[in-house]
Amino acid sequence: TATIRNNATEQKVTFDVTALITNQLGNSSQKIPNRGWIVQSGSGSTIGTYYTKEVTDSTKRPVLRVVTTTGSIDIPVSDDIGLFASSFVPNGAQTSQSISSGSYMALWFDLRSISGTVTSASLTLTTTNVQYGGASSQLNLFPVDLTKTFAPIPLQSGIASKYKDDIGFSHPKKMQVAI
């Protein structure tokens, strides 16, 4: 988890992802494939807006810092996208993304450049100066099954016919993620 505070200033929000990275790079039978991560709002009521890889200032983009026995490396986010609980249509290429009880940020980092044994790893997101709600909130991060390229997942035909208001509803070429 990480904490965001409602203070109307840009701030760094950092997750300790050492165990996750170690697991994703490991060879055990319990290995979690590196198919993406979701950041979602946890406890608290602060809604934060975070810079994405599309922001012009590269120092504000999501970054993964990994320290190993052979040195340290900063890995920029390879892909990110905003997702909404009420829709399977992603937010698209935006310079920032809100994270709240109904909106999430999906991230993917290419871990192939990491060598040596991981001693620590942290994910840092930078907020804009826009926050809403209470004094602070916890954010959660967990691995999910996204594809490396954020390619569309095939839609199941006919599912809308079960809901009278969705008959004839079609969204070709969209990414769908179950949260």
pLDDT, tens digit, for every residue of 168-178?
Answer: 555 444 444 44
Q: Count of CB atoms within 10 A of residue 49's CB?
A: 19
Q: Which two tokens stand for residue 96?
A: 């920032």
In the chain, the percentage of residues whose pLDDT exceeds 90 is 53
Q: How confident is the model at residue 102 (pLDDT cuts 50, 70, 90)?
A: confident
Query: pLDDT tens, 4-50?
Result: 999 989 999 999 999 999 999 987 777 888 888 999 998 888 899 99
pTM of the model: 0.79
Query: pLDDT tens, 118-151?
Result: 999 999 999 999 898 889 999 999 998 765 445 5
Report the distance separating Cα 57 and Cα 176, nearest Å. 29
